[in-house]
Structure 1
Amino acid sequence: MSDWTVYMLRCADGSLYTGIAKDAVARLATHNAGRGAKYTKARRPVAMIYSEPADCRSTASKREYAIKQLRRSEKLALIQS
């Protein structure tokens, strides 16, 4: 079992947010409570639409960065896969 999760959220305005967490379900609750990232605070509620495991924080951070570099269309294709 992996320790970290890379996740993607769909915000209320339709935008996408990517992050990492040790407990993605708890992190989602934090985002929706307005105590998560500054970006999601103003775009609540958010819903988790994608997640993938990562072995360690370093791997999760690298994958998060790679996903953030994708175009929106590529992110949506990733979600569909």
Structure 2
Amino acid sequence: MDTSKHSLATLFEQLGLASDDAGIEDFITRYSPLPREVALQDAPFWSESQSHFLEEGLEEDSDWAEVIDELDARMRH
């Protein structure tokens, strides 16, 4: 069982995206603000597998849920 604490960097790695600070900030800047009526996992910029990973992480309240929520909050500003 993976007991490591996840971060935005590890989430971005899991999603196959640039996971350094600059890559994360560039992604957030490019796609923000996300409209309130659009769930993070339903945003049009995700691939099907990325969307599924985010949705599953939230629905199952997995150990990824907290960092997915953090990304969601940052995407809304």
Q: Give the number of the structure whose residues are more often helix, by fraction.
A: 2
TM-score, normalised to structure 2, is 0.30
Q: Give the number of the structure whose residues are more often strand, by fraction.
A: 1
